[in-house]
Structure 1
Amino acid sequence: MAIPDRLRSSDLLPLWKELHRRFSSGAAVSRVTLSGLGEHHRAALADLLGMDRYPPSTLTIAVVRLDAVLGEAAGCDTRTATEAIIGPIGDRAAERRDRERERAALWSWLAGHPVVAAEPALLDWVADVRRRGLVAGSLEDTRSMLEQVLSVLVALPADGRPLAAFANDALGDPHALDAGRRVSGAVMKALASLYGIAPPGDASERRALWERAGVACDSLSTTVLVAGLRPSGSGPLARSLNLWADAGQASVVTLAQLVEAPGLEGVGSSVWVTENPTIVALAVERLGERCPPMVCSSGWPNSAAVRLLRGLAASGHTLRYHGDFDGEGLRIAAYVMARTGALPWRMSVADYLTALADASGPFSPAGRVSDSPWDTELARSLATHDVAIAEEAMAECLLGDLERAAGNVGNPA
């Protein structure tokens, strides 16, 4: 559109800029106010508006008046002239709404991600990420960073490899998880949330957290307690496990042995997984060489326990997990089920309420309770009653299941 040169005068620039700003707000504009006008600006405005004297330094102009003037001078309305002189008029309100929808979609995606859904303890980390806002104000950069963090969480616990090797495998960059990197810091906070501890504050605490997640850990001192495992095969691990099972004894397997073992097949249809070593000890004491296949996570499972359980699951064995009925016990159970595909064993709300009815005090509080994805009512009930039931308190019930498994009577759901 041809706009007369006199309308493009720099003396009228304050008018066009203010109109452009107001139109770009997305709101209806009926008038604009200009302030701090110099004498040359006032002269230009007087000429534009056909005034017989200079306006004051602060002036409010109705848009309908400008529409009439510009209709005669340029054959267009105020908005069209403003856009022709200053540039395209946006809609900041609509743009803000679009950004808000995109941010809401990002946080919804993160909260509903399968990793978070399977391990609800990570919701505290999700809330912290949301409070901190976008990385450098960018939705794309934030999503990219979060996708990397989730990729790392899926790959943990590691099998004792150095951090650089693990980072290269998980993210394609051996330095991606170095201290000071944004992704590394986010992973540390996510792991701290998962384990229910404070984020690491120095290098030694970061190393300890990485080691807890199986990165750069000692493959000889990282072990898992087992009983009743009789894998087929003639390798040294299979032979030794069969010897201990036949002797009615529990045994300890190192991460190094599991790394070297070709696989553990033929163990049995079900493998019974407990959180506490006491249950394994009681099972061995009562059942001896008849003890069915058992693995103990010993609290939060280390990389040896997860590697063994994943290997057993991959070989077609059904994993059945039981742990403490308290806040941390639920987080550990969710972690084990998410990382290994284990099924819950006596871990329903009905099991908790039965154990609670049979229990006698003094009682310990449940602690911080996260959701229980396998039974949503369990977490609610545990939080309501705020009474922890240790796995050992259910020993007789669990041993009864193991006795039936040893006698091939059938496996409970």
Structure 2
Amino acid sequence: MSSPGRTDKGPLDAETLAFLTRPGLTRLWSAVRTRLERNGLQPTGTMRLQHLDAPEREALSLLLARPVTGPTATVRLPDLDTRLRASAAGRGLTATLEALGPPLTDRRAARDAAAAERSRVWSTARTELESTSLSDRPWAAQWLEDLRRGGTLTRQDPHTATTVVTQAIRTLAALFPEGDTPPAPASWGRGELATRATGSAHGLDDGTLLSRLVLRGIALAHDTEFPTDAPARRALWRTASVTPDEVSSTVLTYGLRPTGTTWQEAALRERADHHRETHLTLRDLRALHLTMPPGTRVRVCENPRVVEAAADAARRAPLVCTAGSATTVVLTLLDALAASGCTFVYHGDFDWPGIALANRVIRRYAAEPWRMRAPDYEHLATRTRQHGTPRLPLTGPPVKAAWDPELTPAMEALGIALHEEAALDLLLEDLG
């Protein structure tokens, strides 16, 4: 290491590279790399290496040109920098580590740059806010400050954060024009509003960051809680005179005979009398007055095939199908039926997602299980095996059935998934 100095450019020669990468120096370079990246790549400060073994002491002695004999060594980074410049390495400490690889990261500069980017995001947002009808709304200033403190946008890259917060401000400005707090009834459709803000009709769909930001603003403007479920989000949109899409999602029904006198109720009764299933939208449900006959018992199933079979067999019992998930439109219908005094029984798939869905419905509506107990499962499993039906294995983590402590152990023991069609003939008997 006593060769004349060279410039900091170019690769290290093979002999120097072999010396600097010897195992005895591995801990040193790792610690130095960490210190340099914290120090803005400046070789300042002192380090202590402890619990040195013999190869490490030998390598450090040669590198530092002084004997290292104990288990601990103190290394001044300025001295190491000077030593490397005067050695065969021919370059300073930072350049040497760059040559050894991988490239160093100036973490201090990266933090400063990130902070500057975040500052630009909020500066842009404040400027945008001041240029709109929101400039004199105290809730709007609070909304922006809450976003800054909450960290929701700081987890995004600066370009995305700037774009989304700007779109949110412009969307809220459209909903709260000058002199209109809260806004007068408007005829905004959510897709129309989203297109205006983002160029896409889906820009304000549930689950998007933009929709969450806008809803937080609406909640603050109306001094209400931020919604935690889909029905509450739809209600908050309507508070701001925005109509969500309420026609694309439907719930499959059969045999509903409400007692109301409007044409919608009459149409439901007529379809029930002719054994025809009916798909209801959220828009339909808001217009319906679902007053049912006293003591109506509604069957709830998971698979549309049950509804189809009930219609083919001209069964009369009222039936609601979740189609595999308790969506907003499904829960809205069941809520309305429960409010009218209906009681429920539930059947679904004997697999773990099916048990989870059954738990949700049974708990929410105090529904009775419908052929959904351990003996029902064991009977169906035996019958499918006797019929030579191919085995469908259970997959995923087990789910405890809230209504029957013996069901989940029985399913784990047999390991067979049974879909609702396996019990179709039994369900049709009950629907008769």
Normalising by structure 2, we get a TM-score of: 0.45
TM-score by structure 1 length? 0.46
The structure with the largest helix share of the pair is: 1
Q: Which has the higher contact order (CA 8 A, sep 6+)?
A: 1
